[in-house]
Structure formats: structure tokens, C-alpha cells
A and B are shown apart, each in its own frame.
Chain A
Amino acid sequence: MATEALGWWGVPLGILAGTLRGSVPFLLVSLGECLTEKSGKINLGLEGTLLIGAMSAYAISYLSSGIVGPTLAPWLGVLAAGLAGMGLGAIHGWLSQQPRVNDVAVGIAMIIFGGGLANFFGKPFIQPQAPQLPTLPAGGWSSLPQVQSALQVSPLFLLGVAIVPLMSWFFKSTRWGLYVRAVGDSPDAARAMGISIFWVRMAAIVGGSFLAGIGGASLSLFYPGVWTERISSGQGLMAVALVIFARWQPWQCLWASLLFGGAQALGPAFQSVGIDSYYYLFNAAPYILTLVIMIITCSPKRTLAGAPGALGKDS
């Protein structure tokens, strides 16, 4: 037998691999949303941004591979995904800051708009195969092919992990970070400081959408590596919820994303070793986890700790 079965070791390995593979979109989208929400606006539309990012990355990677070659093409795709995300972000940023416009409502409209746009332009790209992003083989030390395959780390994952301390430092120790926090916590004070609330929020939303677009690219160019209309399956919305339970802290976004990515692998990994009852329950694990954490951390006596002061309020 060429490949040995792993048996029970397959479960932790599967979860580890699922964490490395499945957490990338959660991580990038939640970091983007973290930046956006710190400025006091919610962008629910990141689900649509994820789809448009996935579509544009796949399309550009496929179309440009003939011109720039299959090594450079996926990177162009990633860039295109980011730019497409920024485009949607700019629309949301402008619309949601109009007087008497609710940002949650705009966000829902943007989910539908982004998804529809991606499906419309994505029609011709469902069938062809686009060149995929390379992965870094971190499992070369192991002789087991399963371990080698599990430890295929995507550069986008590393990018996400690198952004975490950067964003944390940005909020804590830079002037621009202070602007974002000021606008998000106390718009009146920010205005008194002479900061343009409109442009700070616009920048935060567009920047966040750029990250979410790249998250979409990781879906179509890394894992699972196809473009279909249902590729996101709600991951964008889950990532938005994840920011709340990460308490608007980049570091906690990282842990939460890893948790959600790993939880996705739970159902398949258990079934593959013969624990085949309750697979619906295992598949629902991430959602149950969210609910449990929400219930544990909520309190009727205070508002959510760490929430930006102006979040969800009319400006």
C-alpha cells in the first residue's frame, strides 16, 4: 500500500490542515471588517465583496495567464480582487455616509449587488481552470504525504498573519490609527480635531474592502480553488460576526479565524474515521460556537466591551 492510512491521527491533522486552509478568507475579511468598524461604520457587504474578489481573481488569473505566464497570473488576480473590493467599498463608503442612510441596510444591498455582479461577470469563468497561487511546503520535514499536504501554507495566510501585528500597531501607535479610532469612538471630538470624518471612514471602508477582496482571491485561487456562484457560502457574513466576538482586536480576529477555519474541517474529518452520526451537528459546529461565545460574553449590565462608540449610530 503506497499511502498508509492515518486512522485517528487524521482528525487532529485534518483540523490543523483545515485551519491553515480554511481560515484565510475568515482572517482577511475579519481584519478588513475590524478596520472598517473601528471607524464607526459597519460593512455587511463584505459577503458580496468576497464573491466579487473570488470572481475577479479567478477571471484575471485565467485571462492573463496566456500573457504573463502562469506564475505571475494568480498574483495579478489577487491584485485585481483587491481593486474590485475597493470599488465596492467606495460605493458602500459613499452611500452609507449619506444623511439618514443606514449602513446595515446599505450593506445588505451591497451583498446582493456584489453577489449579482460577480455571478453576472463570472458566468464564462465557471468552467475553465485558472492557474492557482503557489503554496509554501512547510511539511517537507515529514515523510508522510498526508502531513506534507496538510502543511501547504498559502502566502495569503502568511500575509493575513503579518497584517495582524501591523494593524494592532497601527491602531495603537500611529497618528492615522488614532484618527480612525477617534472617528469611530467620538466623531464630535474628531471633528473638533479638524479630521474629515467622511474621508477617514471612506478610507477605512475602502481599505477593509481591499482585504476582503483578497480574502475572496484566496477562495478561488487557493482553497478550494474554483470559482462557483456559491463559493463563499456565507463566510463573509460569518467573518463580520466574528469581528464582534473578537472584540475589534486584530489579534483576537486571528484566533477566531483559526477557530472557525478548523471547525469547518470537523465534520468531514470525523466522518472519515468512522464517527458518522450527527454530522449535521459537526457541520454546524462553527455556528454553535459563535452562539455559545456570544452568550457567555454578553451581559445585560454593560454594552460590549471594546465596541467603537459611534458604531451603528447615525452620524
Chain B
Amino acid sequence: MSDRNRSFHLSRRQVMRGLLATSAFGLTAKLGTGCAQSPGSGGGAAADGGAAEELVVGFIYVGPKDDFGYNQAHAEGAAAMAASVPGIRLVEEASVPETTAVAETMRSMIEIDGAKVLFPTSFGYFDPHILALAEEFPEVQFFHAGGLYQDGVHPKNVGSYFGYIDEAQYVAGVVAATMSQSGKLGFVAAKPIPQLLRNVNSFTLGARSVNPAATTQVIFTGEWAEPVKEAEATNSMADQGIEVITCHVDSPKVVMETAERRGVMTSGYHANQSSLAPQGYLTGAEWDWSSIYTALGQDFVDGKTLMTGGIPHILRGGLADNFCKLSPYGPAVSDEAKAAGDAALAAIESGELVIYAGPLQTNTGSEILPAGKELKTDNVELEKMDYFVEGVIGSIS
């Protein structure tokens, strides 16, 4: 033991020297990049409207950028913004947890990269991290996906945007129910938050608009990314003879692949997953951040800001406003289902179809809306949803 001990022995002086050398290296590396980027971010952006100036826009994702899911949808939008708006430079960081880590990422994007606009995309980044950083850097604009902004409560340089993707889920439900003979549909869900419940309900209402006997079986996994449970849930549904499975989890890859292996049809979510399930993929509810981010990018370059009111603090929209879209129909989709889907899509885009229209009941039998009443897509009542509509098999508690 003792001679092995000696051979690996480091004197205090050696340790100190090593530590000094490492920190010196780290310091120079950091200063070096700081200097290199200062021409891009240094002063005068407000004065001349930024004609030749490069505007740095930071995107932060909670998971990997190519997860076939939520993060991929945002990353594709960010890439589209950088590609189609000249004068924008993108800085990105993926897999940033919803902890103080995101505050550090935002801080270094602002201080080191000189970012003037930040898109921290995950829901849980908002409170307290974005709010704290927004107070500290009032000249930087923060855009958050989730619709949590409250006028007068939150700082002026914070904005929120979100899409009514449940409109796309409604159309997907129409297609799914037309393709399914038994009308048994399945939904792999993560956690019972209002947005997820709304997706389940809209999918079910779409399905029941073509087949009044259609049902949606919901299975909660309890977490946004729980690959083994998602696969188990998909398998259990396949065992129960469910014919079309869709989901609301961070990355639908496991659900799509497992369902395809079991010969069950699928309907995607977040992004286009048709390559994962080439046979059974019907359609899917996708975010269309490309159009939104490109429009916002143009606003930034034109010098519009949240603080001056050039950009509204709350941006929302559905299919008609290009916040979301449907995946192209897969090869399995029949002409009848395509026609039904297209009709529903057109009716929603023109505004003549209201998804939440009375009479509407929860799956426990209590009334949501009496006959003749309706809740339009942009009604805030729908954002507090805490029920399943009739036809959903599952409970929230």
C-alpha cells in the first residue's frame, strides 16, 4: 500500500500550480471569446435600428434539440428564424434543467454572447427564473412559451406566446375516429395540466364529431419524460384493442415506435414523427413555430420591442394564425378520412366551427356548457380546464 501511495503522491506545491494553471486557462478562454464577440453586441443598436448590426437571439431548451418532440419543434422554428431573417445570430443551449441552471444560462447568454432577445422555451423556466432575470436586465426581451404573462404583475420586457394546438388535435381526432373501426382511441399523457387536458378533450370531441360512440382511453405516466412507462402505457393500450394512439409527452418517439411495432395506428404530437411510424402514422398536431419566430425576428430587426409596445405581450393563435399545423397524412389514411379531416380543418380556420360548444358534459356527468352556449378558442375559461369531457376514459385525480 505505502509504495503505491508514494507513486501517486502530489505535493501541495504541485497541486497549487495545477489549480493556478487551470484557472488561468479558463480565464483567458473566457476573455478571449468575450473579446471576439464584443463587436457584434457593442452599443448603438437602439440608435440606428440595427441595419448592419447583428442581433443575438438566445434559445434555451429543456431537452435535446432533436428529440422528435417539444424541443425539436422550437429548435426548428429557431433555425427558420435565423435562416429567413438577415441580421440575426442564434445562440442555443439544450438540456437546461428548470432550476437555477437556466438562470445561469440566461445570464451568460446576455453577458458573454450579448443576447438582446431570449427565448427560454420550457414552461417551468418562467417563475422565478425569467422573472428574476427580466428585472435585472430591463433592456433584454424575454419571450416565454406558455401564456403565463400577466399585465401589470410581470416586468414589461417579458412576453408570452402560445398556440391553441388543441385545434390541430381536434382535426387529428376526426381523422383517427374515421380510420378506427371500433372507435377506441388512446392517449398517453404525462401530467394533468390544463393544456394537456385540453388536448385530450379536443381530440375526443373531434373523434366524437364523426363517431359519437368513440372513446379516448387516457393513461398518465406521471412525468414528462419517462420512456419505460410510456412504452408500457402504449403496450397496455395495444393489449386492450385500442386502434389509434396519440400522446402528450416531451418526446413522442417511444410511443410512436412502440405502437408501430404493435401494429397500432398513431397520431403525432409536437413535431412530425411520420418517419418513426411509416405504416401507422395518420397525422399529428404539430407546432408551427417557424412562422411565428420568423415574424418575431423581423419585428426585432425592425427595432420593435416589448417595452415600447411594438410587440404585444401576449401572442396567441391556432391553426388560422399558423401557430400550429397538421402533419401531412400518412399512407394509411383513407380518402374518406382525408376528406373529413380537411373539412374540419377548413371549418376551424374559417372560425365557423367552435370546439367547445354546448351541450357538453364531463365524463363524470356534470354539465360544462348548456345547449346553445359555447366557449371560443381564445376564451380564458378553457385555460383553466380541470375536467375530461364525455367519452374520455380516465380521471384526473
Which residues of A are at the interface with B, using a C-beta cutoff of 8 A?
1-7, 10, 13-14, 17-18, 21-22, 98-99, 119, 123, 126-127, 129, 145-146, 149-150, 198, 223-226, 228-231, 233, 235, 264-265, 267-269, 271-274, 276-277, 279-280, 283
- B236 partner residues in chain A, CB cutoff 8 A: 10, 14, 265, 268-269, 271-272
CB of A276, distance to nearest CB on chain B (Å): 5
In the complex, besides A129-B257, A230-B226, A276-B218, 12 extra interface pairs with C-beta distance below 8 angstroms are: A5-B184, A17-B235, A98-B8, A123-B64, A126-B66, A127-B66, A149-B239, A150-B239, A230-B225, A276-B220, A283-B221, A283-B229
CB of A130, distance to nearest CB on chain B (Å): 11
Assuming A126-B66, A224-B254, is B276 touching A283 (CB within 8 A)?
no
Q: Which of B68, B254, B394 contacts A271 (CB 8 A)?
A: B394
B172 within 8 A of A: no
Q: Which residue of A lies closest to B2 (CB)?
A: A99
A281 to B125, CA, bound (A): 28
B253 close to A226 (CB less than 8 A): yes
CB of B234, distance to nearest CB on chain A (Å): 8
- B232 partner residues in chain A, CB cutoff 8 A: 14, 18, 22, 264-265, 267-269
Give the B interface residue count (CB, 8 A): 49
A1 to B182, CA, bound (A): 7
Q: Which of B220, B225, B239 contacts A228 (CB 8 A)?
A: B225
CB of B94, distance to nearest CB on chain A (Å): 8
- B68 partner residues in chain A, CB cutoff 8 A: 127
A225 close to B64 (CB less than 8 A): no
Q: Which of A3, A6, A273, A279 contacts B220 (CB 8 A)?
A: A279
The 3 A-B residue pairs with the shortest CB-CB distance in the complex, in nearest-first order: A5-B241, A272-B236, A224-B231
Q: Which residue of B lies closest to A225 (CB)?
A: B257
Q: Which residue of B lies closest to A152 (CB)?
A: B261
B95 within 8 A of A: yes
CB of A63, distance to nearest CB on chain B (Å): 16
CB of B35, distance to nearest CB on chain A (Å): 27
A228 close to B251 (CB less than 8 A): yes
Q: Please, could you name 9 A-B residue pairs with CB atoms under 8 Å apart, sorted by A?
A: A3-B238, A3-B241, A10-B239, A21-B231, A149-B238, A226-B253, A272-B219, A277-B395, A283-B221
- B5 partner residues in chain A, CB cutoff 8 A: 99
A10 close to B64 (CB less than 8 A): no
A268 close to B8 (CB less than 8 A): no
B230 within 8 A of A: yes
B230 close to A224 (CB less than 8 A): yes
- B233 partner residues in chain A, CB cutoff 8 A: 268, 271-272
Assuming A99-B5, A127-B66, A280-B222, is B239 touching A14 (CB within 8 A)?
yes
B239 close to A1 (CB less than 8 A): no
- B64 partner residues in chain A, CB cutoff 8 A: 123, 126, 228-229
Q: Which residue of A lies closest to B68 (CB)?
A: A127
* CB proximity to A under 8 Å, residues B78-95: 95
- A7 partner residues in chain B, CB cutoff 8 A: 240
CB of A57, distance to nearest CB on chain B (Å): 15
Q: Which residue of A lies closest to B186 (CB)?
A: A272
A268 close to B221 (CB less than 8 A): yes
* CB proximity to A under 8 Å, residues B236-263: 236-241, 251, 253-254, 257-258, 262-263
* CB proximity to A under 8 Å, residues B1-33: 1, 4-5, 8
- A269 partner residues in chain B, CB cutoff 8 A: 232, 236
CB of A54, distance to nearest CB on chain B (Å): 10
Which residues of B are at the interface with A, using a C-beta cutoff of 8 A?
1, 4-5, 8, 63-64, 66-68, 95, 181-182, 184, 217-223, 225-233, 235-241, 251, 253-254, 257-258, 262-263, 275-276, 393-395, 397
CB of B121, distance to nearest CB on chain A (Å): 17
B220 close to A271 (CB less than 8 A): yes
Q: Which of B218, B227, B235, B251 contacts A233 (CB 8 A)?
A: B227
A271 to B217, CA, bound (A): 8
A29 to B366, CA, bound (A): 49
- B4 partner residues in chain A, CB cutoff 8 A: 198
- B1 partner residues in chain A, CB cutoff 8 A: 99
Assuming A6-B241, A268-B232, is B262 touching A149 (CB within 8 A)?
yes
CB of B59, distance to nearest CB on chain A (Å): 16
Of A5, A126, A149, chain B has the most CB atoms within 10 Å of the CB of: A126
B95 close to A119 (CB less than 8 A): yes
A126 close to B231 (CB less than 8 A): no
- B240 partner residues in chain A, CB cutoff 8 A: 5-7, 10, 272-273
CB of B91, distance to nearest CB on chain A (Å): 17
B63 close to A226 (CB less than 8 A): no
Assuming A10-B236, A17-B235, A99-B5, is B227 touching A264 (CB within 8 A)?
no
- B184 partner residues in chain A, CB cutoff 8 A: 5
Of A3, A119, A229, A280, chain B has the most CB atoms within 10 Å of the CB of: A3
B239 close to A276 (CB less than 8 A): no
B253 close to A268 (CB less than 8 A): no
A268 to B234, CA, bound (A): 8
Of B63, B253, B263, B276, chain A has the most CB atoms within 10 Å of the CB of: B253
A10 to B217, CA, bound (A): 14
- B63 partner residues in chain A, CB cutoff 8 A: 228-229
CB of B236, distance to nearest CB on chain A (Å): 4
A60 to B240, CA, bound (A): 36
- A13 partner residues in chain B, CB cutoff 8 A: 239
Q: Which residue of A lies closest to B232 (CB)?
A: A268
Q: Which residue of A lies closest to B263 (CB)?
A: A145
Assuming A123-B64, A226-B253, A277-B397, is B239 touching A22 (CB within 8 A)?
no
A265 to B276, CA, bound (A): 24
Q: Which of A150, A231, A283 contacts B222 (CB 8 A)?
A: A283
A233 to B224, CA, bound (A): 11
- A229 partner residues in chain B, CB cutoff 8 A: 63-64, 95
CB of B60, distance to nearest CB on chain A (Å): 16
